[in-house]
C-alpha cells in the first residue's frame, strides 16, 4: 500500500501531462485528480489525502472545509499569489501552504516593464490610430521618458527585484516599500527603502508587486492616488483589488495621475461597461503577465518537485506561512 496520498482538486490547465502521474507512481505516491467545485466532491476526492493540490485560481479549499481534510498536512497552490488559499486557518492547523512563484517571476517582471514602456511610448494608442488610418505623431505623442526617472516598487519580493535588475540599464532611482523585506536586501538591488507615502510622492512610475491580503486590499485608493505626481504612471501586475478601481478611474479621468498599465482588475473577467475601457490613458491586458512559452511546463515541474519534497519529509522550495508549526516533521534540504 502507498502511504502518501495527493489529491489534485482543481486544474486550470487543459490537460494533465502523463509524466506527472508516472512520477507519482514511481515514488509510491497515490495520486487522484478530480475537478472539485462542491464540498461533497472535495471530501470524496481529498478527504483522506495527505496533500491537497490546487492548480490555479479555484477557491474550493476554504477555511471551513479544512475540517473535511483531517490528514492534510500541506496545500499546494500552483501559481504565485495565494489569495485563494485559507492561509491563516491552515497555519493554525499546522498545514503548510506552498506555491510555485518561480514559474512566473520572469514573465511577470517582463510584463510589468512591458506595460510601463507601452504607456510611456504610447504604443497601444499609436497602434489603434494607425489601424484607423491616422498617421499623425501628435495624436499620441509620448510625453514621458524613462532614463533617470524614479521608480517606486510596492512590494519587494522576487518579481520586484527582477524588475529592478532588468531596468538597471535605464539608470533610474529605485524606491522600495515592503515591511517584510530588510533594507540590506533592498540595497543589494540598488533600491532605497521608503515609506509608502514618500514613495508615492516621489516616484514618476509606481509598480505594484504585493500580495492580496486584508492589509493590502485597496492599498492604493483615493488618498494614495492624490499623493502621486500628476504626470505619474501606475502599473499593476499584482492583484486587481490592491487598487480601488473606482478611485483609479476618477484619478485617470481627472488627471490626478497621468496613466496606468493594468494586467489585473477588481472583477475578472470585467464587465464590458467598465469605465476604464473608455480611457486612452490606460493599457489593459487579461491577467496574462506570468505566462510565457515556458511557464506551464515550469508550473508542473515545480509543483511535482514540491509534492516530492513533502512526500520525502522535506520543506518545499517555496511556502508562504513561515510561522507555521507543521503537522509533519519536515527537514531542510
Q: Which residues are catalytic?
A: 239, 268, 287
Residue 275, SS3 per DSSP: helix
Which cell numbers hold the place of 171?
Answer: 539608470
For residues 172 and 166, what is the distance between their CA atoms, to the nearest angstrom?
11
**Chain centroid to CA 259: how far?**
21
3-class DSSP state of 126: helix
Residue 174: other Cβ atoms inside 10 A = 23
With beta carbons less than 8 A apart as the criterion, state whether 238 and 264 touch.
yes
* Bridge partners of residue 205, in order along the sequence: 151, 233
Peptide bond into 143 cis (omega under 30): no
| β pairing state of 173-177 and 150-154 | parallel
Give the separation between CA 26 and CA 120, rounded to whole angstroms.
Answer: 51
Cell numbers of 146, please?
524613462
- Residue 58 — φ and ψ, nearest 5°? -60, 145
Distance between CA atoms of residues 7 and 76, nearest Å = 10
Amino acid at each position: 500500500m502507498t502511504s502518501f496520498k495527493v489529491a489534485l482538486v482543481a486544474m486550470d490547465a487543459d490537460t494533465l501531462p502523463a509524466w506527472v502521474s508516472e512520477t507519482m507512481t514511481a515514488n509510491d505516491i497515490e495520486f487522484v485528480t478530480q475537478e472539485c467545485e462542491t464540498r461533497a466532491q472535495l471530501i470524496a476526492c481529498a478527504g483522506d489525502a495527505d496533500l491537497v493540490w490546487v492548480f490555479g485560481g479555484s477557491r474550493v479549499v476554504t477555511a471551513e472545509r479544512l475540517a473535511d481534510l483531517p490528514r492534510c498536512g500541506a496545500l499546494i497552490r500552483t501559481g504565485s499569489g495565494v489569495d485563494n488559499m485559507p492561509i491563516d486557518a491552515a497555519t493554525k492547523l499546522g498545514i503548510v501552504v506552498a506555491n510555485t512563484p518561480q514559474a512566473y517571476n520572469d514573465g511577470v517582471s517582463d510584463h510589468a516593464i512591458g506595460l510601463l514602456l507601452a504607456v510611456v511610448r504610447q504604443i497601444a494608442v499609436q497602434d489603434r490610430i494607425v489601424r484607423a488610418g491616422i498617421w499623425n505623431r501628435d495624436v499620441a505623442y509620448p510625453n514621458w521618458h524613462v532614463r533617470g526617472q524614479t521608480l517606486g516598487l510596492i512590494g519587494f519580493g522576487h518579481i520586484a527585484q527582477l524588475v529592478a535588475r532588468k531596468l538597471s540599464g535605464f539608470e533610474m532611482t529605485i524606491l522600495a516599500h515592503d515591511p517584510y523585506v530588510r533594507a540590506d536586501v533592498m540595497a543589494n538591488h540598488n533600491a532605497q527603502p521608503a515609506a509608502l507615502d514618500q514613495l508615492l510622492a516621489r516616484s514618476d512610475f509606481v509598480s505594484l508587486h504585493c500580495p492580496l491580503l486584508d492589509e493590502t486590499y485597496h492599498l492604493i485608493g483615493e488618498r494614495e492616488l492624490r499623493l502621486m505626481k500628476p504626470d505619474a504612471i501606475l502599473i499593476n501586475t499584482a492583484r486587481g483589488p490592491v487598487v480601488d478601481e473606482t478611485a483609479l478611474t476618477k484619478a485617470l479621468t481627472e488627471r490626478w495621475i497621468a496613466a496606468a498599465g493594468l494586467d489585473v482588475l477588481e472583477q475578472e473577467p470585467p464587465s464590458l461597461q467598465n469605465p476604464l475601457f473608455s480611457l486612452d490613458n490606460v493599457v489593459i491586458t487579461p491577467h496574462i503577465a506570468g505566462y510565457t512559452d515556458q511557464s506551464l511546463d515550469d508550473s508542473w515541474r515545480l509543483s511535482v518537485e514540491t509534492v516530492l519534497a513533502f512526500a520525502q519529509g522535506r520543506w518545499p522550495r517555496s511556502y508562504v506561512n513561515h510561522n507555521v508549526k507543521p503537522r509533519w516533521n519536515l527537514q531542510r534540504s
